[in-house]
Amino acid sequence: MNNIVRIAIDGPAGAGKSTIAKIVAKDLGIDYIDTGAMYRAIALKLIRTGTDYNDGAALAAMLDATEVDFSDGHVLLDGEPAEGFIRTPEVSEMASASSAVLAIREKLVALQRAMGQRKSIVMDGRDIGTNVLKDAECKIYLDASPRVRAQRRALELQQKGMQVSIDQIEEEIRARDYRDMHREHNPLAKADDAVFVDSSDMTIEQVVETLKAIIREKANE
C-alpha cells in the first residue's frame, strides 16, 4: 500500500459508498473521509438556523461561522457530534438540494482537498475523482440499480421501525440521481480513469474484496 495514498470512491445515492469505504479504510489502516456527511452537516445547519441557501449573503455568513471536521470517523459540526442528526429524510433532501450551491461546494471541497494533502485517505462522494481529488492514485465508481438501492434503503428504515414504500423510495432515488447528474457545478459522473463496479448482485463482503483487489492492482502499476 505504500504507493496508494488517496482512494476516491464515487457513485449515486444508496450505492453503499460510505459503508464500503469505511471498511476498506479500516482494512488498509488509513483514514476515511465521509464527504456526504459533510454536506449533510451543512444541510443540518441550514435547517437549524433557517438559512435560505439561495440567499447569498445569509449563506455566506452562515458558512463563515461553520466548521466541519471528523473525529474517530464521525463528523463534527461546529465542534459538536452531528452523526446522530444527519441521517433523517429531511436532512437528506436538504443535502441533495443544497449540495448543488457553489458556495457550499467550494467551502467543503477546500476542506476535503486539504485533508487529502495531509494524509492517506479513502474519500467517497459524488465528484471526488472528477473534481476534489483529480490526481487520486485510485478511483472507483460504485453503482447499483435504483431498485436495489431502494430495497437497501427501505431495509435500513424498516430496521429503525419506520413504515416505508419501496416504490416511493425508488422514485426519490431516481429523482436524486437526476439532480446529482444534472447539477450545474461538478455533477455526478464516472471519472475517465475510474474503475466501474456494479454492486447490485454483490454482498458487502464481495464489494469490499473487489475494491481491495482493484486497489492492490493500482498499487502495483
Q: Find the helix packing angle between 89-98 and 35-49, rounded to 10°.
A: 100
86-119 pLDDT tens trace? 999 999 999 989 998 999 999 999 988 988 888 8
The H-assigned helical ranges of the chain are 17-28, 35-49, 56-64, 89-98, 102-118, 146-159, 166-182, 204-220
User: Is residue 20 very low, low, confident or very high in pLDDT (cuts 50, 70, 90)?
Assistant: very high
Q: What is the structure's pLDDT at 5?
A: 66
Q: Other CB atoms closer than 10 Å to residue 65's CB: what's the count?
A: 10
Q: Other CB atoms closer than 10 Å to residue 60's CB: what's the count?
A: 12
141-182 pLDDT tens trace? 999 999 999 999 999 899 989 989 999 999 999 999 999 999
- Closest C-alpha to 5, from 167, 207, 215: 215
Query: Are residues 75 and 37 in contact, defined by beta-carbon separation less than 8 angstroms?
Result: yes
Q: Evaluate if pTM is beyond 0.85.
A: no
DSSP for 145-170?
Answer: -HHHHHHHHHHHHHHTT----HHHHH
User: Is residue 44 very low, low, confident or very high in pLDDT (cuts 50, 70, 90)?
Assistant: very high
Cell of 16: 453503499
- CA–CA dist 212, 116 (Å, integer): 19
The 8-class DSSP code of residue 129 comes to I
Q: Find the helix packing angle between 17-28 and 35-49, rounded to 10°.
A: 130
> How many percent of the chain have pLDDT more than 70?
98
- CA–CA dist 90, 43 (Å, integer): 9
